[in-house]
Chain A
Amino acid sequence: MLNSALITEAVNTQRRFEKRRWFVLTSLLLLLLCSFVFDIATGPSLLGIQDVSNALLNMLGLPVDVARTTEVIVTNLRLPIALMAVIVGGSLGVGGAEMQTLLNNPMASPYTLGMAAAAGFGAALMLYAGSLGMSAEIAVPVGAFVCCMLSASLLFGLAMMRHITSGQLILSGIALLFLFQSLLSLVQFVSSPELSQQILFWLFGSLTKATWSNVAITAVVTLSCTAVLMKDSWKLTALRLGEERAKSLGVNVTQLRLKTLIIVAVMTATATSFVGIIGFIGIVAPNIARMLVGEDQRYFLPLSFLVGAFLLSSASVLSKVIVPGALFPIGIVTAIIGVPFFFWLIIGKRR
């Protein structure tokens, strides 16, 4: 039959699409690896790429000769920061991707829905309260995490209501964003100039707070959350056809929405509480991923992770080399570099 030949051909074309998507994923992984190595190499003392690779291989248990100082710099100072950039970038990318899927809107991200602002407010409140007598290293992230989850739980409550639309959820999120920004300004307003400065520095976002222990926490949370989302990848793809149609395909939309929202909130709260507010990656990374592989979540989700990770990792490199010897706050760098690039993408797509 003629049509069976056509069917085979269509299957082959679909497989070719899949191969192309795998190629994109692999390319991004390689790019990420490059920026990761560069990230370790740059800093107050510039290391050679060769030295860095050797130190990394040595860590992995391969018998390679490395100078003692290089090894110390790499393992104790640079590696936690470089890893944090990769994990937090990936976490922001995945968070943005799922928010956009959930709300059917390419402008959504944990940032635009007020989660990051809430984290900022929590951190500021903790700094204002003198960390409640605890060590600031613990108290501030905890404050940020609690506040972020608090604002997210308002969204959970709304999402559980039966007939609430994505549009209403977005509006509520934006309202929360304004609320927490105002509260944050209020805390800054009543703080002393020194404290206000400290709060501002936290808000800029910085990877330098990375230690092996908080890298480990973030990594475990981010990777397990991403794995849980991957399990629902087809349901999430179906959700993008619209809520009514997803229901017609047998998706329990209310349950999926709540589950995904909680996962994203936990990821975002964890990432933000350790590194501060890093905007923009949550919006850009999923949009780039979507342009590259479409919206089959089996590829879209991991690619959003990789793009987010790559963006933050390269922003980390840039933040160190823009002004030699000084460290630019990374939250500033991501937006300044990212916005023109994003405009180029949007306009390029229109042509």
Chain B
Amino acid sequence: MLEVRNLSLAFDDLVLADNMNFTLDQGKTHVIIGPNGTGKSSLLKTLFGDIQPQSGEVLYQSAALTKATLNPWRQRFGYMPQDINLDVGLSVLEVVLLGQLNALSLKLGDSLLEEALQALDQIGLLHLANRDVRTLSGGQCQMILFAQALMRKPEILMLDEPVSALDLHFQQVLLDHLDQQTKQKGWISLMILHDLNLAAQYADNLLVLKGGKVVAQGAPKDILTADLIEDVYGVKADIQLDSLGVPFVRTQRRGARAFMSMKDTLVTSEQSTKERAL
């Protein structure tokens, strides 16, 4: 169980966490949603020990994260940062291998190589194994970094917008694999998503962040309402339950009406030009 207690975090006058409290259970997929710049990535970095909070604490299995426990703490983490740029002269296999950094020595055994290749195989990217990573597309890099995070055999896996560059197929591959492994291995998985429908489909526990507070937390079907979405994002949306009982979020296009009114003004100004010309 990962626990956040009375966490407060601010950069100057920008409050990112204001006396925040929540717990994340083993074997569940937890998803954070919330507006841009509301401190989602900073929250992950705080849990990883990269940012020190002003007050409050983070505990894993009742042991607190402190400066002294930072290194062993990080060894239990798989953390996939948002940045997917890979500009380095290494092969895909070598990048995935780095997930097991502590096991690597000057001479690489076959078993480690095979393990890394299996991680790639599980997400359908075995055919890329020997490619130079600089020749990959952004989405492919993202998948490779996911494989690297899997190689870490984490107890806690944190992913910062893991599907931001992925096509429909790989979104499903990544999220399905993550969900299945989380349940099978009893990980605590925590990811940030922007697509509310993906969040609704994959979250066992959804945390909605706004202004440094967790404004709602629970199963998506219980908490995802039109009012919540309007409150958090300022966007009007229809929410229906699909055939599986998962909330389905459909936003209304605001541009449609705006465009119509813009066309009206254009016509009027055109007319007035004509009138003046006459």
Contact = CB atoms under 8 A, between A and B. Distances in A.
B162 interface: no
Contacts, number: 92
Contacts of A252: 71
Interface stretch (B23-31, B113-121, B202-210, B248-256): B113-121
A250 B71 contact: yes
A307 to B, nearest CB: 15
B50 A10 contact: no
Interface stretch (B78-86, B185-193, B267-275): B78-86
A11 B114 contact: yes
Contacts of A3: 121, 126
Interface size class on chain B is 35 or more
A245 B98 CA distance: 10
B60 interface: no
B93 A240 contact: no
Interface in B68-122: 71, 74-75, 77-81, 83, 85-86, 88-91, 93-95, 98-99, 101-102, 104-106, 110, 113-114, 117-118, 121
Interface stretch (A25-33, A152-160, A196-204, A291-299): A291-299
Contacts of A13: 129-130
Given A10-B117, A235-B101, A237-B98, A248 B77 contact: yes
B83 A295 contact: no
Contacts of B80: 248
Interface in A88-147: none
A245 B145 CA distance: 10
Interface string B122-152: 0000110110100000000000010011001
Interface residues of A, number: 30
Contacts of B83: 242, 244-245
A230 B83 CA distance: 28
Nearest to A294: B89
Nearest to B52: A162
A11 B110 contact: yes
Contacts of B129: 10, 13-14
Given A10-B93, A11-B110, A240-B88, A17 B101 contact: no
Given A13-B130, A248-B81, A249-B152, A234 B48 contact: no
Nearest to B133: A241
Given A237-B98, A241-B95, A251-B101, 16 more contacts: A10-B117, A10-B130, A11-B114, A17-B130, A234-B101, A234-B105, A235-B101, A238-B101, A242-B85, A244-B50, A245-B81, A247-B79, A248-B48, A294-B89, A294-B91, A294-B132
